[in-house]
Structure 1
Amino acid sequence: MPIIEKPHWTVRVEQPESAFAEGNSRWTNKDLDPVPRHARKWGVTSFISYWISDAFNAATWQFASSIIAIGLTWRESLGIVALSFFIISFVIALNGAIGVLHHVPFPVIARASWGFWGSYLAIISRAILAIFWFAIQNMNGANSVRVMIAAIWPSFATIKNGIPEAEGIDTPTMVSFFLFWLVSLPWLCMHPNQLRWLFMIKSVVVPVAWIAILVWALVSTKGEGDMWDQKATITGSAYSWAFLSSLTSVIGNYATLSVNQSDFSRYSRVSVKWQLIYVPLLPLIFTFISFIGVAATSAGAVKYGTIDWDPMALISNWPSRAARFFAAFSFALAALGVNISANSLSAANDLTALFPQYINIRRGQLLCAVLCWALVPWKILASAGSFLNFMAAYAIFLGPIAAIMVTDFWVVHHARYDTLALYQRHGIYAYTAGCNWRAVVAFLVGVGPNLPGFIQSINPDIDAGVGARPYAFGWLLGFSATALVYVVLELWVAPPRDTFIQRSVLPDEVYDAQGGVDEGVSVESGGEGEKGGWKERMSRIL
């Protein structure tokens, strides 16, 4: 009889022979290597559906609520949302374009500007944020599932609670949390190329459901409601500071994706110029969704006498059980999609970069799901308002990180990176002991002015006085200050001349040299003959 070898599971991840590893798996694995041509599945439709999917979530619905609460009107709140996403869309597009050109994820791109060991500062910062928000988004999904179950089984919400009140969660919510978490697991095992179908489905189902809610809001109240006639309750300098702080708050919600857009754009099979579609697309989509939140909340106030910015509280008032179920389902699907796109995949790429010998994207997402329970997000939401302030304020660290990445690629290096060197620890991006001190200095300069306000936001008992003012526009200040200092250090004070190359080295050149790329697929433009001025370089890229 033939001997049948039993499959065995190993702690180390699969690492086929890599053209980039140099025999050292410390800095890469299959999921960190540049995406080869045959694995680039994302087209224009995939990216549009991805962003529509990402935009339709409860947080976007509620953007206007905090702005209106501090004294501005719904019109001003929508204007702030539009301006915020107009600003952040440029950063998302520029960082996303790096992924399209070099087909590598954020943790690998960060090595060019931070150095191999220095990049860990940026990677760990984003990983922490992604894991905590994954846990919190699971609670948002659980609340949606709870409304769905209650629509089918009305007594579910009132079943006997066997969990101590001090835990911050009851039995129905715990069951809902577990069910949402369980349904999420199969999606966490999928490759990003497969996940694009989830985003496409969500980009159809959720917008249809929410537009139906908008129609209900407008038809049922015929435009009535105090909110539509609201006037700003603050003026002068208070108005200006409220405007800036609201702008920073909205930008901060998507500061993570401004850093890690390359985690998705690396799978692009279309020209880099399509990343520019984000500039008109994002402000339109996010502002429209915020308007739905305003209209639905205003309708709820007219019909039910309460202002419910929480969509689940609003939906729970509906008499139709079928309407409650399908509306809550749309929010559950929305939470699932955004949790994967903004949190679990981000955390997975970061964990993969930190431990490439043991973690790949699939294991990283599953580890994120396990850590979700350890963080007990129901306690975070129930008792730690200051912690949520901390998480929202964390954007002051991501703004400088995004600034360093954008300026390093587009301004300092004129869009020329050596992809192979991004995997060579002692190559041109080695810097001093693996750390680019210029990036660290620029990062500290960008973060420093915001720290007094950051501390005060966590603990209101600490009065930072006028020192808290910069925090009101923390992301903008951090991004601008970091960009300026970094460019000055890199170009005039202490230029790292080894990193200034005459032309890009793109991954397809390396794959072609190794014979590891599909035949019959053309090499993307932008890798050859890239000497010349800035305008010539940009024309070749676009």
Structure 2
Amino acid sequence: MVNLNPVPAVQAWAGGIKHAFSSKQAWNEFIHTEGNADGKHSWTNEDLRPSSLAQTNWHWWNFCLFWLGMGFGNWTLGSSIVGAGLTWYEAMFVVIIASLVAGLCMAFNSRAASNYHVGYPVLLRTCFGMYGHYWPVLARGCCALLWVSVLNFEGGAYVSTMINCIVGNSWNNLPVQFPASVGTTVQRFIGFLIFWAIELPFCSLRPYQLKWLYTFKAWTLGPGVIGLLIYCLVQSNGKLASDAALAGVTLAKGGTLGWLFVSNVNSAMGNWSTFIANMPDFSRYATSPKATMWTHILFVPIPAALGGIIGIFGTSALQKAWGVTLWNQWDVMDAILEHQWTGGMRLFVFLESFIAALFLFGSILGANLLPFASDVTALFPTYFNLTRGMWFCCIISLALMPWKILASANGFLAFLGGYGIFMGPTAAIMMVDYWIVRRGNIRIWDAYTSNPGSTYMYFHGFNLNAVIAYFSGMIIPFVGFIGTFGVSVPDGATRLDDLGWYISSIVAGLMYVILCKIFPLKNIDPDMPWEKLALEFKEEREREDVEDTLEANVDESISDAAAEKVMEEEQEKGLATTVSVAEVRGTYHHSS
């Protein structure tokens, strides 16, 4: 049961602030993360360490609901692919292929995290090195920060529409307006501030505390988009526009069609490429590796395909009814109000806008705020944990003025859309390192030390095999990526960039495996059985949890008979093997 009462949390926060000013030692304990009060360089804190058994509460159905809520939000994706010159069924196959590949990659990249219960940055240390992991962490964190700002502004558009539904046309005729040079309206700015303010309290919650939000999102988003589709079909009397009218361009044929299809599959990957890299930050809270395998393989592509098809049919129906092609849902909401300004329709648009804003809200938390917080925690573990990182990201995103970002240059949006060439190689190396090179065996406690000669220091903290493989994959489409900023580049380079995510990922993964065959990593035992260390780590966590439970429940007055009963219960659960009466009473001390 989720406690939504904010009073205890606020009281605890205020009490912590008050205590921080009581002494110098209290201040140091307050500004530094758990276990880092001395202020020295650290590789760990409460969010970099493996998640506890109490925190690993994401079951397989939680991941199913998570992706059910994410997939149905693909209204714009499917319809925009049609706008590129494909028919609706060709666009459907684009979405299915891209989401299948994404689901498989997410499943593979979740395995290590669900076994060792650590996030993206710590896993990077094992394959890139203790210092080599900083670049992929920094690259992801910077892009996540920019996306938080932009998506918050888009969420504010839905909030503005909801306010319009409540107060009426007076909302559109406010006496005070910004000059055109600002780049946004007063209404959109107020909506942005409200959406941003609602987001702030959620920055204090970690993923294992947010299951209820994604469950609520899953059960509301599906009915919401289906309801919007029904409305669109009613307006057109169940008829759809022709493919040519919907696309607004001449439909591609022959070789042009083939290339357009392939490039759109690559573009669709941009919708999920961040999640491929981000999944360890969620999967670390999985109850078992099984909870993240088939759930991603099935529940990424199926809801995504349905969401894309719904968006295509809804857009097509409105094009047939009103003669305009509206790809974005916020444009659809405004158009509905223009056509039918009635009490019932205002309520309908309010609910649809709320559901659309909820989709963005969940995406911001899971795909951007959490990754940024995880990355800044890895960069500055002495001062940042997940909650501090999310608060910091949210505050900085406000100062970025996203309306200026969106209006400044197409080059910026091209960068956000194309940075998959930086993240693709990272995810590919993580996957092949765990599944092929390391065969599931990670000495996870060695990922928290940089002592000379330690397991993951490699060559001065860099795994050269990973570094070379990364740049080998990234550099191929990089020239074409530069061309998206208006720089003149050869047509061949542009074609390579059109397939940037696939090329960079495949090349980096293959190169890493080849390099590890030619130059074997010294910290790997090739004869070690598959996931032997993962099994040992699981047993260690369960054993330590029993020991901690016994210490926390010590009672010197407990009788021998009662102590023996506790011992028997623990053994029946399979969590303890040989626990004496003295240990049940609390004389067993943690010794790992």
Within 2, Cα distance between the matches of 1:523 and 1:250? 45
Matches within 5 A, 1:459-538: 459=486, 461-491=487-517, 493-500=518-525, 502=528, 503-504=532-533, 507-511=537-541, 512=543, 517-518=548-549, 520=570
Q: Does 1:106 align with 2:120?
A: yes
Q: Does 1:7 align with 2:19?
A: yes
Within 2, Cα distance between the matches of 1:183 and 1:411? 44
Give 1:46's match in structure 2, choosing from 38, 62, 78. Answer: 62
What CA deviation, in whole Å up to 9, does each residue of 1:50-70 have, x standing for no partner?
11223343xx21112332222
1:392 is matched with which residue?
Answer: 417
Residue correspondences, number:
514
Within 2, Cα distance between the matches of 1:442 and 1:401? 9
Q: Which amino acid letter does the alignment assign opposite residue 456 of structure 1?
A: G
1:125 is matched with which residue?
Answer: 139
Matches within 5 A, 1:278-293: 278-293=296-311
Give 1:377's match in structure 2, choosing from 386, 402, 408. Answer: 402
Q: Does 1:187 align with 2:202?
A: yes
Q: Which amino acid letter does the alignment assign opposite residue 53 of structure 1?
A: G
Q: Does 1:55 align with 2:84?
A: no
2:294 is matched with which residue?
Answer: 276
State whether residues 403 and 479 of structure 1, in contact with CA within 8 Å, keep that contact through their aligned partners in structure 2.
Answer: yes
Q: Which amino acid letter does the alignment assign opposite residue 399 of structure 2?
A: A
Unaligned runs of 5+ in 1: 525-542
Q: Which amino acid letter does the alignment assign opposite residue 185 of structure 1?
A: L
Matches within 5 A, 1:10-409: 10=27, 12-16=31-35, 26-57=42-73, 60-154=74-168, 155-227=170-242, 233-272=251-290, 274-318=292-336, 319=340, 320-409=345-434
Offset at residue 481 of structure 1 (A):
0.6
Give 1:449's match in structure 2, choosing from 470, 476, 484. Answer: 476
Within 1, Cα distance between the matches of 2:545 and 2:160? 53
Q: Which amino acid letter does the alignment assign opposite residue 285 of structure 1?
A: P
Offset at residue 347 of structure 1 (A):
0.6
Offset at residue 78 of structure 1 (A):
1.1
Distance of aligned partners of 1:37 and 1:161 in 2 relative to their CA distance in 1, 3 Å threshold: same
Offset at residue 161 of structure 1 (A):
4.3
Q: Which amino acid letter does the alignment assign opposite residue 470 of structure 1?
A: L
State whether residues 53 and 545 of structure 2, in contact with CA within 8 Å, keep that contact through their aligned partners in structure 1.
Answer: no
Offset at residue 39 of structure 1 (A):
1.8
Q: Which amino acid letter does the alignment assign opposite residue 377 of structure 1?
A: P
State whether residues 54 and 341 of structure 1, in contact with CA within 8 Å, keep that contact through their aligned partners in structure 2.
Answer: no
Q: Secondary structure at the match of 1:226?
A: coil
Larger RCO, structure (CA 8 Å, separation 6 or more)? 1
Offset at residue 13 of structure 1 (A):
3.5
Q: Which amino acid letter does the alignment assign opposite residue 476 of structure 2?
A: P
State whether residues 82 and 283 of structure 1, in contact with CA within 8 Å, keep that contact through their aligned partners in structure 2.
Answer: yes
Within 1, Cα distance between the matches of 2:330 and 2:234? 20
Offset at residue 374 of structure 1 (A):
2.3
Q: Which amino acid letter does the alignment assign opposite residue 93 of structure 2?
A: G
State whether residues 161 and 172 of structure 1, in contact with CA within 8 Å, keep that contact through their aligned partners in structure 2.
Answer: no
Distance of aligned partners of 1:396 and 1:522 in 2 relative to their CA distance in 1, 3 Å threshold: farther
State whether residues 36 and 517 of structure 1, in contact with CA within 8 Å, keep that contact through their aligned partners in structure 2.
Answer: no
> Taking structure 1 as the reference length, what is the TM-score of the superposition?
0.90
> Taking structure 2 as the reference length, what is the TM-score of the superposition?
0.82
Unaligned runs of 5+ in 2: 1-14, 22-26, 551-569, 577-592
Q: What is the percent sequence identity of the aligned residues?
A: 29
Within 1, Cα distance between the matches of 2:126 and 2:175? 56
Q: Secondary structure at the match of 1:343?
A: helix
Offset at residue 16 of structure 1 (A):
4.5
Offset at residue 518 of structure 1 (A):
4.5
Larger radius of gyration: 2
Within 2, Cα distance between the matches of 1:149 and 1:122? 40
- Could you tell which deviates more after superposition, 162-171 or 476-485? 162-171
2:561 is matched with which residue?
Answer: none
